[in-house]
């Protein structure tokens, strides 16, 4: 098992003939993802170099292929439209890789697309190792196994996954939830899914300063996941307050969003917080050993 | 993008929210001329992004052209005093000359985005004129909130509920739902992340007027309003932001600290973790720097020079997680960058991963740099080199 | 039993201090409706002549009284706002009496107020005889009994109810669904509720020319209510095409909405269509007798 | 309120939908002057609400001022020929003089309200220039529909899907999503019940232009756009509507038929049922009349006079279901009305219910009218009196 994505998930790519879309389509296909086609308006009827059919609309693609998942590579002004189109066509999971989507667009989208899970935007996608990869993550660092991972950043995710894989700790599903203020799927929603996943026996949560997703996750873990081992990491403990560092998410404002508040929340939930990424595998292994 | 008070008030006016009569002036002379042309009781207010203008003496009364001139002169003579968020303070480039209101009551009204609820949220209090954090501490019962369903948007009952729940003075009630609606319209139409009226003044003659204006626009939505380009250009960037822009990285991708270990990584999360690793290893960080995607020679060079020329760095720790790029290519880029740079040379500690990472490390070692295998090792090595 | 409304339904009146609101509040209270208060912004804290509390907002009224139903008497420009307010406060049924609500307002409202049943607008409300009356119907013509009634017009409804009551055929619930193009509750939705109501043993449907609510109802009856006796009436058989007669609903356009299409649809569903209102009681009684 | 073509096109222009260059003219002289000032190939089109202008010869070409004058003269000389919906035809009060387009393709695009889905629905076909009913019959496969979720509103994918599904010519594709969006904006902003572009022309030089415009605005939403008051006043009411307005009832509450049994009832549903009852009793209806709420003397009198003076009624059947009003009060109102009227007298058959209905019937009988107990009885009695 895994969450959100498996070997049989039929995936299309919106923006499949664009430079990013075509590059990553090739990589996803190579990884083994069940890509069934793509969409570029006006290029319906063409084929990609991999022989995948291109459609004019998501609806046509869904009707022809039975796709349930989409990976969105379109410029920021068109991301909301792409998400609405996917929702209207009955897509159940959309990973929106696009960076720079206006926050009001996402407010509108998340408020009106019930029934479709959105990962991102401004995210690297998700991977169920050994089964399928949707997005832009480097497939070779992943290894199939029992660890569920969720993270707000991208390269840091690869770093942590790499450490886990090298330590022999494979992953069930790794979700890059995205760095924007308004995202389709938060840590809590990932936790809710991992809770019911038989393959997942421990969780790693890579948080960051800013927002209150980590605090919310800690509260959820305390209430609903007392039995599952969870290890957290908080990036940006040395960031100054009131200033954005890099992407929009990493800003501390008010009492919430500080590393202290997040670490305290995890402590209260009995979740160890790694000081460095390199400590994560050891902490996970210990917790798994205790449970075994 | 944070707007200055006079810019925010221009948006308020467009939306139909009453603001005080005012003139925006860039010099004491202009203030003097304006008051001469419109005698009366005026307030001269520094136009800056930092808070605490009143306490800093940057808001002054003026009843004559001469008083206006000297008020403006005093206000603009020194920058806003520094605080933790703006250690350099903020220079004052202009002032707003505004009618003095006979204020009977001061309330608070803002809309911001709640990340957890994923909805716009109204925050209203019958106490205005002070920081909302202070109100939250002293009068928590006075704060009313309303989470807006974006599928519906604003409807006047929201304003009524807020006015009654926050127990706004009766004088506000009739006008408040329309003001709240106009504020929501502005928030929505211009893609704002925050709109705040503090105080929302009730004057002794029964008018409800936005006495201050704080507006933060979403940078990602600015393409929809090209009219703001000019404002953006006029806005005060802090020094770090100016340096970042000059180096060609995002203005939020660079920030300086007082230490001597320069850092650079690809991705904000990894860059923050790199800083943390350096601090944990006992080092003092010189900067945050997210090089973004693609670490080619040109980009590495400009980032190196950004750090070397503008921070106290005595060592530069580059932490690249290759992901899908090739380690040998990154290494060649770094070597090329260091050959081309004309800035002073400091030791480089480089951690890189990716396909062909071992060849990459060999290339770096051959060029006299210090390749390491892990982030922790790199942090320790950088701290060691910095403390020599 | 009954549908939508019973003796225990706690009802508030939006616009309770207005001329219509106060007049009909008095009548509803006299009928026995469990009116628990009303709303007029700025008059919170006052009492009505019946001693009912007036609140500033629906939320306050609901918090204080536990109201679940509302009867809306506000001018047309404010009707949508009143419905949004009721929905936001957790009201589960809103009868909107207001005539002249812009059709786009109702399009927006019905698309965004899931979880709240709206009756109307431009309707006389609903009555569960012997239990409660919400709206402006003349209470004395109703009689408790086994007949469920739904109707698009007002005085015609009273006429039909009067005929039924005089014939000894009491009613379970009578719903005036309203005469506007976009209404919150259609015949089909009434049928769905009546289907599960133990008290209701036969149905009367008073339709009109225009729209396709009657055709939709006939299809629903054929599929889901084969056992329940239903008698229909279609007003406006002598109306000319292309012209509105009275309220907005009664206009024939295209092939749908003609009396012929409606009568044919009911015939196909096995539903007798009364030629005159006065025939309705006899038709109902016959059908009930066959079943007994 | 149905708009004339030139009014609809003004809204299109405001919304950013391209329309042909044009001038609106009220006289043949004005047409002549316009073409003299702007020589070229023009089309002169009658401005009427009725369909079938082309077949009726009310659209003519004009290549010179003189041709323009005579085209306008011919068009305006006679009204539009009557049809079943407009038995009186429609006088032509103005024309639109419009550039002649070099049309390569004609498509169809409309938005209306689907009552069952309770959503706005786009209807698009690659066949334009004929009635959509005709297209639906001849080319059903060419019609694409999209039901809009009002919580989301329009998004460009809707236009793309429609264009592909309706197989619009390639020339439309780029421009269509923006046109569909502008049309939806107009539909929404002005509270329209129907907006229709038929044909949506693709010109030989690649422009997509609304060659005709049909807009029906929701009367109930007109208060939001007081600017339309002038248009409303300028719109042709038919004779029944004018008479209804003069009598002080809603313009949709009165309609004439060729028979001799006058009718009046309170409530549209009951008024229609009353007509049906008269027809079923073998009578010929003279009119539909919904007196609305409150049948006081003044109102009864004006309704009586409306029917007696403008229809072939030889008897007047009044059917009032009292509901919560008192029967004796209604009866007194009717008697008073008949005493006051100066119009010719015809027999009255009156059915009324309500509290004190028996007293009411006595009052009527005493005044020489014919009170009855039921609608059916009243219908039969009225038919009997009419056929004497």
Q: Report the residue of chain B nearest D153, measured CA to CA.
A: B151
State whether A96 and A149 are in the same domain. Answer: no
Degrees to nearest 5, angle at CA A227 with A222 and A228: 90
Q: How many CB atoms lie within 10 A of CB D66?
A: 12
Domain contains A291: yes
Instruction: Say if domain D1-20+102-236 classifies as CATH 3.30.470.20.
Output: yes
Enumerate the β-bridge partners of residue B60: B44
| Whole-angstrom distance, CA of residue B373 vs CA of residue C24 | 82
Q: For residue B147, give how far its alpha carbon lies from the nearest alpha carbon of chain A (Å).
A: 12
Active-site residue, C247 included? yes
The pLDDT score that the predictor gives to residue C248 is 47
State whether A99 and A18 are in the same domain. Answer: yes
What secondary structure does DSSP assign to C176-200, as a single string? Answer: E--SSSS-SS-HHHHHHHHHT-SS-
Supply the mean pLDDT for chain C. Answer: 93
Q: Are strands C69-72 and C11-14 parallel, antiparallel or unpaired?
A: parallel
**Is C102 close to D113, i.e. CB distance below 8 A?**
no
The pLDDT score that the predictor gives to residue D326 is 80
State whether A25 and A167 are in the same domain. Answer: no
What secondary structure does DSSP assign to chain A, as a single string? Answer: --SS--TT--EEEETTTSHHHHHHHHHHHHHT--EEEEE-TT-TT-B-TT--BEESSHHHHHHHH---EEEE---GGGHHHHHHHHHHTT-SEEEE--S---HHHHHHHHHH-TT-EEE-SSS-EEEETTTEEEES--GGG--EEEEEEEES-SHHHHHHHHHHHHTT--EEEEEE--SSSS-SS-HHHHHHHHHT-SS--EEEEEEESSSSHHHHHHHHHHHH-TTS-EEEEEE-TTPPTT---SSTT----SSTT-HHHHHHHHHHTT--EESSGGGHHHHHHHHHHHH-
Give D128-152 pLDDT, tens digit per residue. 988 888 899 999 999 999 999 999 9
Interface test with B, best of A155, A181, A220 (most B CBs within 10 A): A155
Mean pLDDT of C60-86: 98
| Strand order, beta sheet including B315-320 | B261-265, B315-320, B348-352, B370-372
| pLDDT tops 70 at residue A220 | yes
Same fold, B1-20+102-236 and B239-386: no
Residues contacting C213, CB < 8 A, separation 6+ = C152, C177, C186, C187, C188, C207, D115, D116
Residues C221 and C187: beta-carbon distance below 8 Å: no
Please identify which residue in the block is written with the tokens 């406006």: C236
Return the SS3 of C160: helix
Domain at A268, CATH number: 3.40.50.261
User: At which of C70, C87, C122 does a domain end?
Assistant: C122
Tokens of D387: 């056929």
| Whole-angstrom distance, CA of residue B176 vs CA of residue B198 | 14
| pLDDT tops 60 at residue A135 | yes
DSSP letter, residue D285: B
Instruction: State percent of chain C over pLDDT 90.
Output: 86
Interface test with C, best of B146, B149, B155, B170 (most C CBs within 10 A): B155
State whether A24 and A155 are in the same domain. Answer: no
The pLDDT score that the predictor gives to residue B156 is 98
Q: How many domains does chain C have?
A: 2
Mean pLDDT of D263-268: 92
DSSP letter, residue C286: H
Give C202-250 pLDDT, tens digit per residue. 999 999 988 889 999 999 999 999 889 999 999 988 887 666 666 544 5
Q: Are strands A93-96 and A132-135 parallel, antiparallel or unpaired?
A: unpaired
**Is A84 close to D157, i.e. CB distance below 8 A?**
yes
Domain D21-100 class, CATH top level: alpha beta
Tokens of B142: 């006075």
What sections of C51-185 are H helices per DSSP?
58-65, 79-88, 103-112, 155-166
Q: Could you tell me the residue ranges of all domains in chain D?
A: 1-20+102-236, 21-100, 239-386
Q: Which of residues 57-86 of B touch A (CB under 8 A)?
A: 84-85
Give D81-95 pLDDT, tens digit per residue. 988 777 778 899 999
Rounded to the nearest 10 degrees, what angle do helices B268-280 and B375-386 cross at? 50
Phi, psi of B22 (to 5 degrees): -160, 165
Residues C99 and C154: beta-carbon distance below 8 Å: no
Q: Spell out which residues of chain B touch residue A213, defining contact as CB-CB under 8 Å.
A: 115-116
Nearest CA among D255, D218, D231 for reference residue D85: D255
Nearest CA among B101, B94, B80 for reference residue B31: B94
Q: Which of residues 190-209 of D touch C (CB under 8 A)?
A: 191, 193
Domain contains A130: no
The ipTM, to two decimals, is 0.93
Domain contains A133: no
Q: Model confidence at A240, in pLDDT bands (50, 70, 90)?
A: confident
Return the SS3 of B17: coil
State whether A151 and A290 are in the same domain. Answer: yes
Q: Model confidence at C187, in pLDDT bands (50, 70, 90)?
A: very high
**Is D113 close to C103, i.e. CB distance below 8 A?**
yes
Q: Report yes or no on whether pTM surpasses 0.95.
A: no
Tokens of A202: 């421990």
CATH architecture, range D239-386: 3-Layer(aba) Sandwich (3.40)
Give A168-193 pLDDT, tens digit per residue. 999 999 999 998 999 999 999 999 99
State whether A96 and A216 are in the same domain. Answer: no
Mean pLDDT of C164-186: 96
* Active-site residue list of B: 108, 196
**Is A107 close to B120, i.e. CB distance below 8 A?**
yes
What distances in angstroms separate CA A171 from CA A1, A6, A93, A146, C162, one per listed residue? 11, 13, 20, 5, 72
* Active-site residue list of D: 108, 196
Give C18-42 pLDDT, tens digit per residue. 999 999 999 999 999 999 999 999 9
State whether A148 and A118 are in the same domain. Answer: no
Mean pLDDT of C284-288: 94
Q: In this complex, is the C-beta atom of D362 within 8 Å of any C-beta atom belonging to chain A?
A: no
What sections of D40-87 are H helices per DSSP?
65-77
Tokens of B296: 């080619």
Domain contains C131: no
State whether C41 and C153 are in the same domain. Answer: no
| pLDDT tops 70 at residue D64 | yes
Nearest CA among C27, C5, C24 for reference residue C15: C24
| Strand order, beta sheet including A54-55 | A54-55, A35-39, A11-14, A69-72, A93-96, A117-119
Domain span holding position C238: 138-292
| Whole-angstrom distance, CA of residue A207 vs CA of residue A229 | 16
Domain contains C182: yes
| Whole-angstrom distance, CA of residue B295 vs CA of residue D12 | 51
Interface test with A, best of B187, B273, B293 (most A CBs within 10 A): B273
What distances in angstroms separate CA B169 from CA B166, B177, B200, B319, C60, one per listed residue? 9, 14, 12, 57, 18
Q: How many CB atoms lie within 10 A of CB B84?
A: 8
The pLDDT score that the predictor gives to residue B292 is 80
State whether C161 and C283 are in the same domain. Answer: yes
Q: Spell out which residues of chain B touch residue D152, defining contact as CB-CB under 8 Å.
A: 151
State whether A160 and A287 are in the same domain. Answer: yes
| Whole-angstrom distance, CA of residue C135 vs CA of residue C158 | 13
Helix (H) or strand (E) run with residue D351 in it: strand D348-352
| Whole-angstrom distance, CA of residue C58 vs CA of residue C82 | 9
Mean pLDDT of A276-282: 95
Domain at C118, CATH number: 3.40.50.720
State whether C35 and C154 are in the same domain. Answer: no
What sections of chain D are H helices per DSSP?
5-15, 28-37, 65-77, 132-138, 156-165, 170-173, 176-189, 229-234, 239-247, 268-280, 297-310, 327-340, 357-366, 375-386
State whether A31 and A111 are in the same domain. Answer: yes
Residue of C57, C80, C112 with shortest CB distance to B160: C57
Q: Are strands C117-119 and C54-55 parallel, antiparallel or unpaired?
A: unpaired
Digits of tens for pLDDT over chain B (388 positions)?
899 999 999 999 999 999 999 999 999 999 999 999 999 999 999 999 988 898 999 999 999 999 999 999 999 999 999 887 777 788 999 999 999 999 999 999 999 999 999 999 999 999 998 888 889 899 999 999 999 999 999 999 999 999 999 999 999 999 999 999 999 999 999 999 999 999 999 999 999 999 999 999 999 999 999 889 888 887 777 888 889 999 988 888 999 999 999 999 998 889 999 999 999 999 999 999 998 866 678 888 899 999 999 999 999 999 999 877 788 888 888 898 889 989 999 999 999 887 788 898 999 999 988 899 999 999 999 999 998 7
Residue of D85, D188, D224 with shortest CB distance to C243: D85
| Whole-angstrom distance, CA of residue D248 vs CA of residue D290 | 12
Mean pLDDT of D295-318: 90
User: At which of C122, C149, C164 does a domain end?
Assistant: C122
Helix (H) or strand (E) run with residue C72 in it: strand C69-72
**Is B267 close to A155, i.e. CB distance below 8 A?**
yes
The pLDDT score that the predictor gives to residue C247 is 55
The pLDDT score that the predictor gives to residue A182 is 95
Instruction: State percent of chain C over pLDDT 70.
Output: 94
Instruction: Name the CA radius of gyration of chain B, rounded.
Output: 26
Q: In this complex, is the C-beta atom of B188 within 8 Å of any C-beta atom belonging to chain A?
A: yes
Touching chains, C (3+ CB pairs < 8 A): B, D
Domain contains A76: yes
């Amino acid at each position: 098992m895994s969450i959100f994505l498996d070997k049989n998930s039929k995936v299309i790519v919106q923006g499949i003939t664009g430079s990013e879309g075509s590059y990553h389509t090739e990589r996803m296909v190579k990884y083994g993802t069940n890509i069934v086609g793509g969409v570029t308006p006006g290029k319906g009827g063409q084929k990609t170099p991999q022989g995948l059919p291109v459609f004019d609309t998501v609806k046509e693609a869904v009707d022809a292929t039975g796709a349930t998942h989409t990976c969105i590579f379109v410029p920021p002004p068109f991301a909301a439209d792409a998400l609405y189109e996917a929702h209207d066509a009955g897509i159940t999971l959309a990973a929106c890789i696009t960076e720079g989507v206006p926050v009001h667009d996402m407010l509108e989208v998340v408020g009106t697309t019930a029934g479709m899970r959105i990962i991102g935007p401004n995210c690297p996608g998700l991977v169920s190792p050994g089964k399928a990869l949707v997005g832009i993550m480097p497939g070779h660092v992943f290894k199939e196994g029992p660890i569920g991972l969720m993270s707000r950043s991208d390269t840091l995710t690869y770093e942590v996954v790499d450490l886990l894989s090298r330590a022999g700790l494979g992953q069930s599903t790794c979700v890059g939830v995205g760095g924007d203020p308004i995202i389709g799927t938060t840590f809590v929603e990932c936790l809710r899914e991992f809770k019911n996943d038989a393959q997942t026996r421990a969780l790693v949560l890579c948080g960051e300063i800013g927002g209150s997703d980590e605090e919310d996750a800690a509260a959820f873990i305390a209430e609903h996941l007392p039995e599952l081992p969870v290890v957290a990491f908080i990036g940006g403990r040395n960031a100054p307050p009131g200033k954005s560092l890099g992407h929009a998410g990493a800003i501390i404002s008010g009492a919430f969003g500080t590393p202290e508040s997040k670490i305290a929340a995890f402590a209260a939930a009995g979740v160890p917080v790694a000081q460095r990424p390199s400590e994560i595998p050891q902490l996970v292994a210990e917790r798994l050993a205790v449970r075994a | 993008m944070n707007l200055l008070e006079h810019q925010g008030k221009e948006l308020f006016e467009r939306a139909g929210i009453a603001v005080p009569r005012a003139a925006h002036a860039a010099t004491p002379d202009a203030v003097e001329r304006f008051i001469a042309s419109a005698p009366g009781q005026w307030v001269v207010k520094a136009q800056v992004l930092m808070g605490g203008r009143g306490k800093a003496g940057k808001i002054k009364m003026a009843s004559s052209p001469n008083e206006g001139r000297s008020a403006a002169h005093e206000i603009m003579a020194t920058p806003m005093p520094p605080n933790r968020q703006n250690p350099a303070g903020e220079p004052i480039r202009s002032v707003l000359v505004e009618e003095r209101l006979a204020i009977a009551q001061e309330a608070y009204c803002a809309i911001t985005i709640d990340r957890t609820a994923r909805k716009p949220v109204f925050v209203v209090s019958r106490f205005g004129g002070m920081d909302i954090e202070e109100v939250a501490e002293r009068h928590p019962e006075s704060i009313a909130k309303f989470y807006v369903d974006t599928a519906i948007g604003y409807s006047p009952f929201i304003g009524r509920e807020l006015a009654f729940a926050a127990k706004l003075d009766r004088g506000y009630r009739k006008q408040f739902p329309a003001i709240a609606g106009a504020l929501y319209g502005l928030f929505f139409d211009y893609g704002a992340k925050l709109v705040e009226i503090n105080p929302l003044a009730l004057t002794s003659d029964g008018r409800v007027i936005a006495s201050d204006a704080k507006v933060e626009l979403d940078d990602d939505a600015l393409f929809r309003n090209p009219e703001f380009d000019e404002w953006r250009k006029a806005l005060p960037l802090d020094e770090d932001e100016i340096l970042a822009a000059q180096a060609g990285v995002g203005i939020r991708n660079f920030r300086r600290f007082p230490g001597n270990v320069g850092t650079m990584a690809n991705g904000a999360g990894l860059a923050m973790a790199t800083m943390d690793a350096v601090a944990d290893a006992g080092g003092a960080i010189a900067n945050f720097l997210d090089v973004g995607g693609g670490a080619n020679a040109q980009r590495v060079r400009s980032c190196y020079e950004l750090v070397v020329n503008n921070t106290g760095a005595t060592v530069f720790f580059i932490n690249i997680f290759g992901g899908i790029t090739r380690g040998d290519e990154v290494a060649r880029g770094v070597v090329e960058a260091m050959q081309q740079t004309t800035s002073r040379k400091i030791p480089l500690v480089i951690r890189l991963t990716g396909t062909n990472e071992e060849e990459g490390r060999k290339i770096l070692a051959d060029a006299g740099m210090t390749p390491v295998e892990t982030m922790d090792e790199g942090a320790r090595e950088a701290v060691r080199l910095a403390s020599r």
